Amino acid sequence: MGRCLRHYSTLLIVPKLPKAAALAYDAQKESAPKLLAKGQGHIAQAIIDKAIEHDIVRFENPQLVDALLRMELDTQIAPALYESVATLFAWLYKVEQSAS
């Protein structure tokens, strides 16, 4: 009788680490939006929780978040991101107008 060898594989499945970036824009004071907060993992979750707590609108765009995570905090967004962020703020404006 032959010996039966069993091979086992182990796999851990984890959700993607959350990522978050918070922007603010005051058109009367600034020429471009500023990066207020950014983070991954627990820091991102804390940013998301604060946004929920303060009823701040959330929007998912993984590519934009990745680009914002490479920026320094409290700086205006890079010119390469102007079009994407302008589209996002235009969408936010419509959401806020329809809510009021």
Inter-residue contact 1 to 34 (CB < 8 Å): no
CATH of the domain at 62: 3.40.1690.10
Q: How far is CA 16 from CA 13, 44, 62, 72, 73, in A?
A: 10, 12, 11, 23, 23
**Is residue 20 exposed (0-12), middle (13-18) or buried (19+ Cβ within 10 Å)?**
buried
Per-residue pLDDT reduced to its tens digit, 47-89: 999 999 998 989 899 999 999 999 999 999 999 999 999 999 8
Range of the domain at 84: 19-99
Residue 8 placed within a domain:
no
Q: Tell me how far apart the 2 most distant CA atoms of the chain are, in Å.
A: 84
Residue 11 placed within a domain:
no
Taking the whole predicted model, whether its pTM rises above 0.95 is answered as no
Residue predicted with more confidence, 72 or 27: 72
Q: How many domains, the chain?
A: 1
